């Protein structure tokens, strides 16, 4: 997926200053809280994105409301984004920032699809095997897809590893054809 280059620049600048001040967790948490607030409060999102409201007014209102309630580096970054009429990029900045923090900490998210819920023992074995193979800390996100007859389908980034019985049968059919 192509990302907005301006959003990437905001993320890199915010990440650098947050890391320098040992505030990655605080910034990530406050940024996610702000995005959640935008999703819950449609009027705030409309206000911040409106081209009818001068950027300087948006910045003033934003600072008045959020000063002391979020990390100062994040406050300054969002204010800068508002000054440059980039409010529509806030959610993308949040997603990219979370990805950047995970990459920095050598964490990878793996989506695991199974036909039935994995037992704690199985989940632990899958996680341990993936961490050894990937040499990263794995954040395992499990979902159940009852259409899968058995086995496991993993998605790591844009790559899918299909170890389901249906996939194995399909490969066998191809080989026998």
- Rama region for 22: left / alpha / beta (φ>0; ψ in -120 to 50; rest): left
CATH number among 3.30.460, 3.40.30, 1.10.3470, 3.40.50, domain 107-176? 3.40.30
Domains 5-103 and 107-176 share a fold: no
What is the model's pLDDT at position 177?
Answer: 74
The mean pLDDT value for 62-89 works out to: 96
- Rama region for 156: left / alpha / beta (φ>0; ψ in -120 to 50; rest): beta
Domain ranges, ordered by start, for the chain = 5-103, 107-176
Looking at per-residue pLDDT, the higher value among 153 and 26 belongs to: 26
What is the model's pLDDT at position 23?
Answer: 97
What is the model's pLDDT at position 169?
Answer: 74
pLDDT above 70 (res 1): no
The mean pLDDT value for 111-118 works out to: 89
What is the model's pLDDT at position 3?
Answer: 80
Residue 82 confidence class, pLDDT cut points 50, 70, 90: very high
Residue 124 confidence class, pLDDT cut points 50, 70, 90: very high
The per-residue pLDDT for range 29-40, each reduced to its tens digit, is 999 999 999 999
What is the model's pLDDT at position 157?
Answer: 83
Mean of the per-residue pLDDT values of the chain: 92
CATH topology of domain 5-103: Peroxidase; domain 1 (1.10.520)
The per-residue pLDDT for range 53-67, each reduced to its tens digit, is 999 999 999 999 999
DSSP symbols for 79-118 = HHHHHTT-GGGHHHHHHHHHHHHHHHTTEEEEEEEESSPP
The mean pLDDT value for 133-146 works out to: 92
In Å, what is the CA distance from 110 to each residue of 1, 4, 84? 18, 24, 36
What is the model's pLDDT at position 110?
Answer: 92
The mean pLDDT value for 152-162 works out to: 87
């Amino acid at each position: 997926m192509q990302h907005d280059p301006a959003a990437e620049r905001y993320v890199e600048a915010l990440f650098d200053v947050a890391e320098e001040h040992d505030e990655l967790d605080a910034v990530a948490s406050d940024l996610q809280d702000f995005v959640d607030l935008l999703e819950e409060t449609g009027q705030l999102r409309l206000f911040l994105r409106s081209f009818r409201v001068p950027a300087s007014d948006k910045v003033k209102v934003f600072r008045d409301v959020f000063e002391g309630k979020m990390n100062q580096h994040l406050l300054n970054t969002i204010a800068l984004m508002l000054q440059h009429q980039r409010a529509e990029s806030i959610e993308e900045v949040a997603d990219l920032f979370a990805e950047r923090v995970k990459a920095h900490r050598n964490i990878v998210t793996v989506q695991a699809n199974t036909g039935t819920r994995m037992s704690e023992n199985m989940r632990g074995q899958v996680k341990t095997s993936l961490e050894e193979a990937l040499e990263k800390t794995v954040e395992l996100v499990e979902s159940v897809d009852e259409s899968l007859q058995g086995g496991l389908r993993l998605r790591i980034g844009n790559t899918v590893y299909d170890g389901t019985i249906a996939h194995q049968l399909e490969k066998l059919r191809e080989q026998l054809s």
